[in-house]
Structure 1
Amino acid sequence: MTTLFLVRHGRSTANTAGILAGRSDGVELDETGREQAVAAGVRLAEVPLVSAIASPILRCRQTTEVMLGDRAIPTEVDDRLTECDYGDWTGQSLKELAGEDLWKTVQQQPSAAVFPGGEAMTALSARAVAAVRDWDRTLRARHGDHAAWVAVSHGDVIKAILADALGMHLDAFQRIMVDPASVSVIRYTDARPYVVTMNSLSGDLAKLVPPAEAGDDAAVGGGAGVAGGPETGARAAEGTDEPRVG
């Protein structure tokens, strides 16, 4: 089994301005966003990461660089983890966009949403899920079954990946919260993905990497927890935060 740490970029200048940045050039982390990236790096410091994969968008590349600091971790960019192409919505005020008819579709039936001049949300989901599944197989082949790796991407992209891991239809993905610089963890096994934690904002993350002797089966009855000793199955380990689902 491999463990994926999904990190959303830190707060950006567009986030604070209430603008839908999308793929706009020049949108950077603000001061708080940089502090958040540093904090995420501290949380991941004891995680034995074998690789980092990032969206090509500047705010994600900045988050990755700040978060990893001087750690010698191979880092690559994957276009499939890029932000949604919001088309004509790019750069517009979120308050103004909330009055558009399409806004309701995005909220209630995202599988039917196609942004004018841009991308369908189903296409976003397909490319994002394919990216993490492909990287999971690649890194597992390179580093073994217990490799841990990090991917840095965007809110809607991460929500789509989590929805897939949870077995949820895309139309339910707006129930998932993904805050700036939050960490969500998925453990991929031959049997199924396990969502370990979502939207985690504080605490050490090293304990979420399973021991080498962990298996692919879920612990019947829920198991003993992280501190409960060895058990059969790849249980969904408790994080330092409760999963936050909207």
Structure 2
Amino acid sequence: MATVILVRHGRTTANASGLLAGRTAGVLLDEIGRDQAASAGSRLAAVPLVGVVSSPLERCRQTAQLILDLQTGSPVTPVEDDLTECDYGDWQGRTLSDLATEALWPVVQTQPSAVTFPNGEAMATMQSRSVAAIRRHDAAFEAQHGPGAVWVAVSHGDIIKSILADALGMHLDLFQRINVGPASVSIVRYGNSRPTVHATNTDAGDLSWLAAAGPAADAPVGGGAGHQPQHAARA
């Protein structure tokens, strides 16, 4: 299958003040967040992307645009509602320090599969819709561009954590073991037999090797020789 690069939006005004923004409209990247997103765009500039799919929320669309600004091609730019933030219901707009006093908080930390936010969404539903959206777009990009296609999905922390947990074969109850920082890059390839996770939560490093990534293959016994950056191949 194709290769999907999962990018969390950059830091927002809500992140900086400790608020759970959820689906609140008008939450934008702050100056640090814009710099973070531009840095992710610089890393991805060496990779010819066939698509940049974004959550509909402004912070993700801003991040997606900063990635697109540094692309030389013309990737498609669909907005995907199923990659939007979890519906935190009555928790939305409250501070994390306040939410930590709620009886539901430790359940969110240890058994998220059992959590439905008050007047909001179940975390299991959040995972199922987001994983289905990623797999649907991945299959469509491969069908149109071939197994070497590389595309980006810009979304939110809990959404990306749940997608990575699925790709790693982890139960949702273990997804809090995964960290996904602002504007971080994670990489997943969906093969015929299983997904493979090539990176999680990176904010630095060369990504030019993705420009020459071939179809997903069997796992190399012993770990293999790894990838070769494009600039090294030209040396």
Q: Structure 2 length normalisation: TM-score? A: 0.93
Matches within 5 A, 1:1-246: 1-69=1-69, 71=71, 72-208=74-210, 211-212=213-214, 216-227=217-228
Residues 111 and 215 of structure 1: is their aligned pair in 2 closer, same or farther, counting only changes over 3 Å?
A: closer
State whether residues 150 and 210 of structure 2, in contact with CA within 8 Å, keep that contact through their aligned partners in structure 1: no
Report if aligned partners of 1:21, 1:91 keep a CA contact under 8 Å in 2.
yes
CA distance in 2, matches of 1:215, 1:171: 28
- Following superposition, the deviation at residue 48 of structure 1 comes to 1.6
Letter matched to residue 30 of structure 1: D
Is contact 1:47–1:209 with CA below 8 Å preserved after alignment? yes
Q: Which secondary structure does the structure 2 equivalent of 1:49 belong to?
A: coil
Residue in 1 aligned with 2:233? Answer: none
Distance 1:47 1:209 in 2: 5
Q: Which has the higher contact order (CA 8 A, sep 6+)?
A: 2
Equivalent residues of 1:13, 1:27 under 8 A apart: yes
Take 2:207 and 2:213, find their aligned partners in 1: how far apart are those partners?
14
Question: CA distance change for structure 1 residues 215 and 89 in 2, over 3 Å: closer, same or farther?
Answer: closer
1:3/1:147 contact within 8 Å kept: yes
Whole-Å separation in 2 of the counterparts to 1:204 and 1:124: 31
Contact 2:82 2:130 in 1 (8 A): yes
What is the root-mean-square deviation of aligned Cα atoms in Å?
1.3
Q: Give, as a single letter, the amino acid of the residue that structure 2 aligns with 1:226.
A: H
Normalising by structure 1, what TM-score?
A: 0.89
For residues 31 and 67 of structure 1, the distance between their equivalents in structure 2, rounded to whole angstroms, comes to 16
Deviation at 1:226, TM superposition (A): 2.0
Deviations 1:127-175 (A, max 9, x none): 0000001001111111111110000000000000000000000000000
- Paired residue total: 227
| Alpha-carbon distance in structure 1 between the residues aligned to 2:60 and 2:196 | 25
Residue 232 (structure 2) aligns with: none
SS in 2 for 1:16: helix
Q: What per-residue deviation string (whole Å, max 9, x for no partner) do you get for residues 76-129 of structure 1?
A: 100000000000000001000001010100000000011001000000000000
Percent identity over the alignment is: 58
Q: Secondary structure at the match of 1:222?
A: coil
Question: 1:170-200: CA deviations, max 9, x gaps?
Answer: 0000000000000000011112110000000
Gaps of 5+ in 2: 230-235
Contact 1:160 1:173 (C-alpha < 8 Å) held by counterparts: yes
Q: Which runs of 4+ in 1 moved over 4 A?
A: none
Q: Which amino acid aligns with 1:224?
A: A
